[in-house]
Amino acid sequence: MTDNEVTMNDVETGLVEIQNEEEKMRILLFEAISSLPASKIHGMLMVILEKNLVFREWSEKHWNSKMIESGTEKKLDRTRFLNWIKKFDDFNLYLITRNLIWQNETIEELFKKKLLVEQKDGTFAIRKFELDAIGGHSSG
């Protein structure tokens, strides 16, 4: 930059840097997910579904899932959801989770908050945690 002017090249360079950082973050997120046992992913998806109306509506639309109890509150039918998602083998569960992250920015943010920690320099690292805390409840 010269004379405090921003050129189109500066903007393009900045956008490329942002995209590169987002890609690095997403790769770390996928690494974190792939290191989890399926039961923990089940728990995380359950927490996300319970707490996020946008995700519930999205899952009904894209998965044609009938995991929501009828009524005004639209509460998650936990048993039905767990039975449905446990049908997937580990590989397909990881693929579904990755696909959710790619397709829905809200879901990506929720997983990012659970699994990654932002460093002082703005980059991300995989969060260190107790496995029982990942799904929001202890396993037992």
Tell me the pLDDT of the chain (140 aa) as tens digits: 456 788 989 889 889 998 888 889 999 999 999 888 888 888 888 787 777 776 667 667 766 556 555 555 566 667 777 777 788 888 888 888 888 888 778 888 888 988 999 899 888 899 886 655 544 443 43
Q: Which of 112, 37, 46 is CA-nearest to residue 79?
A: 46
Strands (E), 8-130: 116-118, 124-126
**Structure token digits, residue 26:** 């997403």
pLDDT of residue 86: 80
pLDDT of residue 137: 44
pLDDT at position 4:
76
According to the model, what pLDDT value does residue 28 have? Answer: 92
Q: What token pair was written down for 130?
A: 């107790």
According to the model, what pLDDT value does residue 30 have? 92
pLDDT at 120: 92
Based on the number of CB atoms within 10 Å of its own CB, is 127 exposed (0-12), middle (13-18) or buried (19 or more)? middle
SS3 68: strand
Q: What is the dihedral of CA 99, 100, 106, 108, to 10 degrees?
A: -60
Domain limits of the chain? 8-133
**If you ran DSSP here, which 8-state letter would residue 140 be given?**
-
